[in-house]
Structure formats: C-alpha cells, structure tokens
Amino acid sequence: MKKLLLSSVIIIIGFTFIGRLSYLQLFRFSPDQTLEDPAIKAIYDYPERGYIYDRNGELLVGNQAAYDVMVIPREVKPLDTLEFCGLLGIDKPTFLQKMKRARTYSPRLPSVLVPQLSKEDYARLQEKMRHFKGFYIQKRSLRYYATNSAANVLGYISEVGEWDLKNNPYYRAGELKGRTGIEQQYEEVLRGRKGVKFIQKDRFNRDIGPYKDGKLDTLPEQGKEIHITLDKALQEYGERLMQGKRGGIVALDPKSGEILAMISGPTYDPALLVGRERSKNYNKLHYDTISKPTWDRSILAEPSPGSPFKTLNALVGLQEGVIDPTTKFRCYNGFYVGNVKRGCHCGGGVRDMNSGIYQSCNAYFAGTFRKIYGKYATTDEGMDVWEKHMRSFGLGGYLGTDLPTGRPGRIPNKAYYDRAYGDNRWASSFIISNSIGQGEVAATPLQLANMTAAIANHGYFYTPHVIKNIGNTGGIDPKYTEPHYTTIDRKHFEPVIQGMANVYKYGTAKWIQIPGVEIAGKTGTVENFVRVNGERMQLTDHSIFVAFAPIENPQIALAVYIENGYYGARYAGHIASLLIEKYIKGEITRKDLEKRMLEKTLEHEYAKPYSGEPFKINEYVW
C-alpha cells in the first residue's frame, strides 16, 4: 500500500489532467473561434457595387458618394458647439440629443452623428474638421439612379438584417445587400467580394502586425457591371402613360425572350429609397395598402386573362382537329349552357374563326371548347389534354424569369375541380367560362406577354428574362437561350394570327391602328368582383390587351393590364398601341391619342368603392 501510494497519486493526477484538457480542448473548442478571438481583428475592404445598364448601354444605376459625420464620444474635446452646428446644418438641441445617443451606444465606438451629407456640405465641413477632435467624416457609397423608372425591376439595397446574418455567413452587421428586383437576383455579381485583412492584436488592442503574415488575407473582388434587357426610353415612356392608372405592362422581344419593359402602376422613383429620407419614404410606400406601389403588378397580379385567352382555345381546337378555320358556329347574341343563356357582344350571326377572333365572339369559343372536350370519352381526359396544351404556353406555373418574385397564375386541372365540385360531379359545361378567359384561369401580365410572344413566333418562346450580359465577358444562364416549343403545330398559327391582325383592321381595335405597322392583337374585358369591407361588389371591368408587331417579323410582343379600365381597347389597347409605335418607330405620330392617355387617370374609378356611396360601373363616357 505505502509503496503504491505515490505511483497511484501520479497516475490519478495524469488522468485528471487529461480529463480536464479533453473538456477544454475537445468539448469546449469550437472551430470558428478565429472570429471571436480577441487577438485577431478582421478589417474589411468593400469593393464598389457594379453598375446597371439598359439594353442600349444607357446607365440605369450607378454609385454616388455620401459622407457621414461620425463621432467617438470619448475622444471629443470641448468645442464651439454653435459653429459646429452651423456647419452641420442642425440646431443645438438636436446636436446634444444625438451626442447623448452616441454616448449611450458606446463611448469608445464610432456612431453616426449626421448621415449622408451632400457634396456641398461636405466640402464646407472638410476644411474645418480638424478643429473638432473626436469627429471625422466617413465616406460611404450609395446607389445613384440615372432614371426615375423601373423601381420594382431594379430593386433596392439595404442593410442586412438578423435573418441574413444567421443564414448567410458572408454578411457582417451593417453591410448592404440587394432587396427585391435585379439588386437581389444578381446580388453576388453586383456586390463582388469584399477583401479581408486579419490583424494580430495584443491585449491592449494594439496592432502588432498581420495575422499569419497575411496568408489568410484576401483582396476585394470588384463588383461586375451588368446590362439588362430593359429599354430605358420605352420603360420611362410606359411609366408616364401609366400615371394615374393601376396595372401592369410587360413587353418582350419575342425573338429572344428579353423583357423590354416591365411596368407596374402606380410606381415610385427608385431614388426615394436612397439617402436621408429613405426610411420615411419606405414606410410611406410599404404601408400604402390601397394602391400598393411596391407590389409589382406586372409579375404579381393574376387577373383572369379574358378574351386574349380565346386565341389559345382556337389553337387547341385546331391542333386537336375538332375545328378548322372554316368551321362555323352561330351566335344568338350569346350561347346556352343548358337553359341558361350567356351573353355575347359580337353582334350575333354566323361566325368562323377569323370573325370569331376579331369580333371576340363568346359563342364561337364556347362551341370550340365543347368540341375539344367532346373529342374525348370523359371530361377528365379532355381536361388533361387541354391543360397540357395550355401549360406548354408557360401558363399555370412559374416561368423561371430571373426576378426574385413572381406568381404562377392558374390553369385549372381535374384535381382542382374535383376539389371544388367532388369527383365526377362536374362536366365541361361547368368550366365553359374558361373558353373565354374568364372562370378559373388566371395569368400574370408577364405570362400573357409570353403567350403572345409564342403566338408571334408560331409556336415557341424563350423564357422571359431581364439579364442581357454580365461584366464584359457576357455569359448568361443558358436556360434563357433555349427555345421552349408549345404543343401546337406551326401551321395552325397562321389563321389565328390572321384573326388577330383583323382585330386591328375590322375588329375591336380598329380605332387604334398604327399607320404603317402591321399589328396583331387581341382585346380583353374582364369582369371583376372584389370584397370591400366584407361586402362583395362588382367593379368596372379590367381592361386587357395583348399584341405583337410587326406581324411578319415580330420585334415586340406585349401585354397590358389596366385595373378597372373597362373594355380592352379603351385603356389597355391605347397604351399598347402607343408603346408599340414608340418602340418600332421611336416617336409618336398620333399626338392626340398620346395626349389623351397621358392626361386621363382612373383615380375616380379607384375611389368609387371607398366613397361609401352607391356608384355605377362600366360607364361608357370617358
């Protein structure tokens, strides 16, 4: 016993030590301690954010310098407060209050005293700055907007929040990140990569040289400039036309799927979300729950497509072989579903495909729709075929556009109706509204424009996108350069396009032709019901218009959706016509038409349901 005592003690001590060391070095150790290590400080070097240009190389978004006056309260020496306040352009109580707030935050760390001085103020202040100990000026880079349009497409940048910090290890508190639009979608391209320098500190927090001789340090990587497909002139013009109206417009180049303009009304000047007034403006825009300026209607609104959808039903009918262009249906100023008559505004008579389209005859398309379903033994089968054709036009699902938001629209399928009516308890007559683009179908303006582009191309489209090229090397995602073919054969498009051309020549849009340009289009008038304060009411119809031009060599395909704009040719048709002329000719020849569109607003329509008084809808006079 006594011989073993010392040896046992030695061994027990050894085990105890190893146990404690295991706890410290294995259990309590965490590999990312480098960032918490008080002996290492990381200093970041931020590259300039990339510029954004339009399709013609015109600057849309650049950068501007702003100057923050910073203060480190502990280092402040007695100063001439009045003179300093004068230079800063603030009064003494404000100054004292801000100083107090800075001291409360930390006496040792810098706080912002006055954010974002203008260049002039900065110039004035800079000479005198050395007299004021404890204050200094920090340069910051802000976004500069060379356009007052496209706010929702471009997006904005703001400081990262808790969520970003937790989910993306790249960001540190106080850094900026793209929110919404292109700024978010191409965040990593635009921001570049910040450089980092690790400094070894001693216990007095003094620098004692680079950590690991700078082996871990990185140089900042410049943000890349990007070119986007928007046409600045067209975009700005479209937004001017949209003043006082709510709705969305998307214009595409059908040959490439490039988005030429993407307009949502009402919109706002992107510069509002930069600078000293940023948070005030943001709240104003964000909490406007009635006109919703930050809600991009061009990709988020999902109205029923209305009559433009008839063209697709015609194409499906041709593809399925249940009709040919000469097939005729009789219109009784409407058509019957069982004993119930559904109306039509075409004027009645016998309709073939051509006049069915240009007079927008409901009876013609109801008949076509029934024939499609009649071809198959069960409605289920017919539904599947119909749905497959519709989806091939990019409807009823996300298109894959390179913007961070979007909506899928809706192409109803049998599961949808089984849920609504019960299994086998519905028939084609239940869903006949879909033949004329009412009922359960829904599509965003972007989807409508894309559908129009597919018709213009005789059966294929490119995924709509806003990126044109990145940096100097170009190179965009190959998924934007592959054509997507619809399930409709090329030969079937000719008669439908003919009908759409006649919409301008003889049909619903004959008053808004463009001299010298062959256009194919289709009007749409969509009934709409809303709930206001819990009460269901019908409001003035939405005005929808799709078109492409020129017919032989399409350069632009667009969809215009104007909330409560009444019939298709009225607001949507006018605006579509002006945009096409602007894009193809570069100038507007029909000044009176342009003047009317610039001056007219729909504010009175939008005020109606909130007025609390009875009101009329679909008033003919305008």
Partner 1 sequence: MSGRGLFGRLDWLTVFLYLLLVLIGWVNIYSTTLSDPNVSIFDFSTLYGKQLFFAGLALLGVILVLFIETNFFERFASIFYIICMVLLLGLFVFGKTIAGATSWYDLGFFNLQPSELAKVATALALAKFLSDIQTDLKLWKHQLYALIIILVPVLLILPQPDPGSALIYFSLFFVLFREGFPLFYLGILLFIIVLFATTLMFGTVWVAIGLVILTVLVYTFKKASLKIPLIPVIGTIILSVLFSLSVNFVYENVFEQRHRDRFALWLGLEKDESKLEEIRKTIGYNTYQSEKAIESGGFFGKGFLEGTRTKGDFVPEQHTDYIFSSVGEEWGFMGTVSVILLFTIFFLRLVQLAERQKNGFNRMYGYGVISILVFHYFINIGMVIGLLPTIGVPLPFFSYGGSGLIFFTMLLFIFLKLDSNRLKDGV
Q: Which residues bind partner 1 (CB under 8 A)?
A: 1-3, 5-7, 9-11, 13-14, 16-18, 20-22, 24-26, 28-29, 31, 33, 37-40, 200-203, 208, 211-212
Instruction: Look at residues 557, 536, 321, 527 and name the one whose alpha carbon lies nearest to residue 446.
Output: 557
- To partner 1, the closest distance from the beta carbon of 173 in angstroms equals 23
Amino acid at 22: S
User: Alpha carbon of 294 to those of 13, 155, 251, 398: distances in Å?
Assistant: 69, 10, 20, 20
How far is Cα 440 from Cα 142, in angstroms, rounded to an integer? 45
- To partner 1, the closest distance from the beta carbon of 207 in angstroms equals 10
| CA angle in degrees (0–180, nearest 5) for 530-542-445 | 105
Strands (DSSP E) contained in 234-369 are: 247-253, 258-265, 329-331, 334-337, 340-343, 349-351
How far is Cα 457 from Cα 460, in angstroms, rounded to an integer? 6
- To partner 1, the closest distance from the beta carbon of 30 in angstroms equals 8
The encoded tokens of residue 187 equal: 């965040």
Q: Which is nearer to partner 1, 203 or 531 (CB)?
A: 203
How far is Cα 298 from Cα 403, in angstroms, rounded to an integer? 12
Q: Which is nearer to partner 1, 20 or 596 (CB)?
A: 20
- To partner 1, the closest distance from the beta carbon of 27 in angstroms equals 9
Q: Which is nearer to partner 1, 26 or 621 (CB)?
A: 26
Q: Which is nearer to partner 1, 199 or 537 (CB)?
A: 199
Cβ–Cβ contacts within 10 Å for residue 565, how many? Answer: 30
Q: Which is nearer to partner 1, 32 or 613 (CB)?
A: 32
How far is Cα 92 from Cα 81, in angstroms, rounded to an integer? 7
Q: Which is nearer to partner 1, 31 or 534 (CB)?
A: 31
- To partner 1, the closest distance from the beta carbon of 72 in angstroms equals 23
- To partner 1, the closest distance from the beta carbon of 46 in angstroms equals 25
Sequence-ordered list of residues with C-beta below 8 angstroms from that of 352, at least 6 positions apart, any chain: 325, 326, 327, 328
Query: Nearest 5°: phi and psi at 499?
Result: -60, -40
The conformational region for residue 600 under phi > 0 = left, psi -120 to 50 = alpha, else beta, is beta
DSSP SS3 for 483: strand
Q: Which is nearer to partner 1, 11 or 350 (CB)?
A: 11
Q: Which is nearer to partner 1, 21 or 65 (CB)?
A: 21
How far is Cα 89 from Cα 92, in angstroms, rounded to an integer? 10
- To partner 1, the closest distance from the beta carbon of 204 in angstroms equals 9
Q: Which is nearer to partner 1, 39 or 123 (CB)?
A: 39
DSSP SS3 for 11: helix
Question: Any idea of the CA torsion for 515, 517, 522, 524, to the nearest 10 degrees?
Answer: -50
Q: Which is nearer to partner 1, 131 or 212 (CB)?
A: 212
Cβ–Cβ contacts within 10 Å for residue 140, how many? Answer: 15
Cβ–Cβ contacts within 10 Å for residue 74, how many? Answer: 11
Exposure of 503 by Cβ count < 10 A (0-12 exposed, 13-18 middle, 19+ buried)?
buried
| CA angle in degrees (0–180, nearest 5) for 60-62-67 | 145
- To partner 1, the closest distance from the beta carbon of 214 in angstroms equals 13
H or E element, residue 548: strand 535-549
How far is Cα 283 from Cα 293, in angstroms, rounded to an integer? 11
Q: Which is nearer to partner 1, 203 or 616 (CB)?
A: 203
Q: Which is nearer to partner 1, 2 or 130 (CB)?
A: 2
Place of tokens 């706002």: 268
Contact 579, 241 (CB under 8 A): yes
- To partner 1, the closest distance from the beta carbon of 61 in angstroms equals 42
- To partner 1, the closest distance from the beta carbon of 37 in angstroms equals 6
- To partner 1, the closest distance from the beta carbon of 197 in angstroms equals 15
Amino acid at 146: A
The encoded tokens of residue 81 equal: 């407060």
- To partner 1, the closest distance from the beta carbon of 209 in angstroms equals 9
Q: Which is nearer to partner 1, 212 or 419 (CB)?
A: 212
- To partner 1, the closest distance from the beta carbon of 11 in angstroms equals 7
Contact 144, 63 (CB under 8 A): yes
